[in-house]
Amino acid sequence: MMFERLTNSVQLCSAWQRLTNLLDSHAEWFCTLSDGNTLALRRRELDFRLDPGRLILSCWTEKGTRSWRIRAVNWNDQKLQLLASRRSGAERRIIELVPRASANALAATIRAARQLRCQQLARLACSLQPGAKIERASLSRGIRRGQPGRYARILLRLKHQRIAVTASVVSSHTSEVDAFLSAALLWFTRTGERTRPPFIQRLWLVVEKELVKPLVQRITLLREGLREAIIIYEIEEAWGTVSEIACPGRAELWKKRLGRFPPVTDPVVSELAAAIIAEAPGAIDVVQARGGQTLRYFGLPFARIRRLLDIERVWFGLDGAARRLLDDDTRQEWAALLRDLRQHRSAGASDHRHALYRNAPEAWLESLLRRDITRLDPGLIIAPLHAQFRTTRGEQGARPIDLLALRQDGRLAVIELKVSEDREHVLQGADYWQRVEAHRRQGHIWRAKLFGERPIRDEPPLVYLVAPTLRVHPAFQLLARSIAPDIEIYRFDINEDWRAGVRVMRRRRVP
């Protein structure tokens, strides 16, 4: 693909005019990020604007409004491709915008290309097993009706057994390994229950090099019978050959030296931060951020404090790319932002479709539990409590743990929060358990004094999976039965109106 780089003000201005006119020519667009997520957006939910030396795209996503700096563009009469970045270049994506009028034709093209790759994989897998025949080679269901799926679903048939083979037919990132494995386990289990003899006895997971390491780590978390049925293959870039990957045991993986444990510092609330918190002490909290402090209103970041030339300054705004310096000229905008937050980001808000109410719901739930974690479990100590905790400095593709807590009896608790149906809930919790347990065994948590001088029991951590009662994914129990029984997992069903106060409706051990 040939991108047009935007390197000077003339190119930026020209691109802005062309892109704005292009958006105006269609009432609805399909927006696809490089991770495969696709959103249907109306014209008013997309906007290009010029900042000094930058072209910014703002759009509505499932996580709220997001802004991207556009560095290059490519338009090929069917779709618009944008090379975009966020967070000062730390996050880079290719964003595709497709007008709805041509979306069906494009979906058919994509489906044909993915099906071709699926057939290629089926022939390759069949060549690995003498006597095997291809019984089925199809794509998984798409996220939405009419969209092609992203996973190959292949059944190989032998005389006395069947082999299930699956792979992602689109480029994948390490952060998507839980989604891939969850989908594979569900398909393997459900298809096996519906299939007549000979039964499916093995599952082959075919992945690219980037996913091998995280996938191997997660296989060790599964129950023994499932681990023995799974074989991992690494496929080379051209999809011409595969090689089998050995899966070491959990203990062998933990013997390897772990990455550097990140330092944990006590949060320091400056006088300026304390003054802002006083505006709404029950809603605003402060978290330490790189180079300063971030202020959040029920989990939603709305301001940052940084020290420049020994003077603390405040930058505010809900969009990182459009934050304003708080001074005499912007004082009214600051007051309007606080007024909007009080009105719309509260349990009593009248408009539940407002962006301030809908944005960052899991961060909202996290902020409530940070204030009193005993609402979830009276046996947990209130402080210290570590939110968005990273087990390794600079780890790639690994999400931070929502909450890491300690019980009164000295047992660690890994807490993973969801407020909507999420198929990866179980595997994410198990993965966090593994990372925390590996560091606990090597003494890192005690030496880092994460919980001061409180003793930590020589037992693996507990896993608390928290979600509103009606927002637990239907496949939760099936996936929970896939996890090794020595990983102690508890499911917490909380009230649907948790914004008004968290109440545990049901707690039970799973599976």
H/E run at residue 243 = strand 242-245
Angle (nearest 5°) at CA 82 between 78 and 84: 165
Residue 27: what pLDDT? 81
Segment 345-399, tens digit of pLDDT: 999 999 998 889 998 999 999 999 999 999 999 999 998 999 988 887 655 556 8
Decide if pLDDT at 110 tops 90.
Answer: no
Q: In terms of DSSP H, where are the helices of 420-491?
A: 425-441, 444-447, 476-480
Burial of 167 (0-12, 13-18, 19+ CB in 10 A): buried
Residue 319 phi/psi, 5-degree rounding, is: -115, 115
Contacts of 307 (CB under 8 A, 6+ apart): 292, 313
CA gap 44, 49 in Å, rounded: 13
- As a whole number of angstroms, the longest Cα–Cα distance in the chain is 80
What tokens appear for 126 in the block? Answer: 């069949």
Residue given tokens 């069903």 in the structure block: 493
Residue 494 phi/psi, 5-degree rounding, is: -110, 170
Residues of the chain above pLDDT 70, percent = 92
Rg over alpha carbons for the chain, rounded to the nearest Å, is: 25
Decide if pLDDT at 273 tops 70.
Answer: yes
In terms of Cα–Cα distance, which of 235, 246, 263 is closest to 390?
Answer: 263
Residue 399: what pLDDT? 82
Residue 128: what pLDDT? 94
Residue 251: what pLDDT? 81
Contacts of 482 (CB under 8 A, 6+ apart): 185, 189, 222, 223, 226, 426
Query: Which of helix, strand or coil describes residue 167?
Result: strand
Domain with CATH 2.70.180 in the chain: 4-103
Would you give the end-to-end CA distance of the chain in angstroms? Answer: 48
What tokens appear for 231 in the block? Answer: 């074989």
Residue 338, Cα to own-chain centre: how many angstroms?
29
CA gap 87, 67 in Å, rounded: 10
The answer to whether 32 and 95 have CB atoms below 8 angstroms apart is yes
Average of per-residue pLDDT across 284-292: 82
Residue 9: what pLDDT? 86
Q: Which of the following CATH numbers is that of domain 129-255: 1.10.1660, 3.40.1350, 2.20.200, 1.10.10?
A: 3.40.1350
Handedness of CA 244, 249, 250, 253 (dihedral sign): negative
Segment 416-438, tens digit of pLDDT: 999 999 999 999 999 999 999 99
Domain 361-510: give its CATH architecture: 3-Layer(aba) Sandwich (3.40)
Residue 234: what pLDDT? 96
CA gap 401, 390 in Å, rounded: 6
CA gap 376, 202 in Å, rounded: 40
In terms of Cα–Cα distance, which of 378, 442, 432, 439 is closest to 403?
Answer: 432
Decide if pLDDT at 263 tops 80.
Answer: no
Residue 487, Cα to own-chain centre: how many angstroms?
22
Which of left, alpha, beta for 501 (phi over 0: left; psi -120 to 50: alpha)?
left
User: What are the residues facing 60 on neighbouring strands?
Assistant: 65
Least confident of 9-18, 194-203, 308-317, 392-401: 392-401
In eight-state DSSP terms, residue 470 is G
Residue 137, Cα to own-chain centre: how many angstroms?
29
Domain with CATH 3.40.1350.10 in the chain: 361-510
Residue 108: what pLDDT? 76
Decide if pLDDT at 25 tops 90.
Answer: no
Decide if pLDDT at 507 tops 90.
Answer: yes
Average of per-residue pLDDT across 254-274: 75
Angle (nearest 5°) at CA 390 between 496 and 182: 60
CATH 2.70.180 corresponds to the domain 4-103 = yes
What tokens appear for 481 in the block? Answer: 């039965």
Tell me the pLDDT of the chain averaged across its residues: 89
CA gap 221, 216 in Å, rounded: 9
H/E run at residue 414 = strand 412-417
Segment 432-459, tens digit of pLDDT: 999 999 999 888 898 888 998 899 999 9
pLDDT band for position 63 (cuts 50, 70, 90) = low
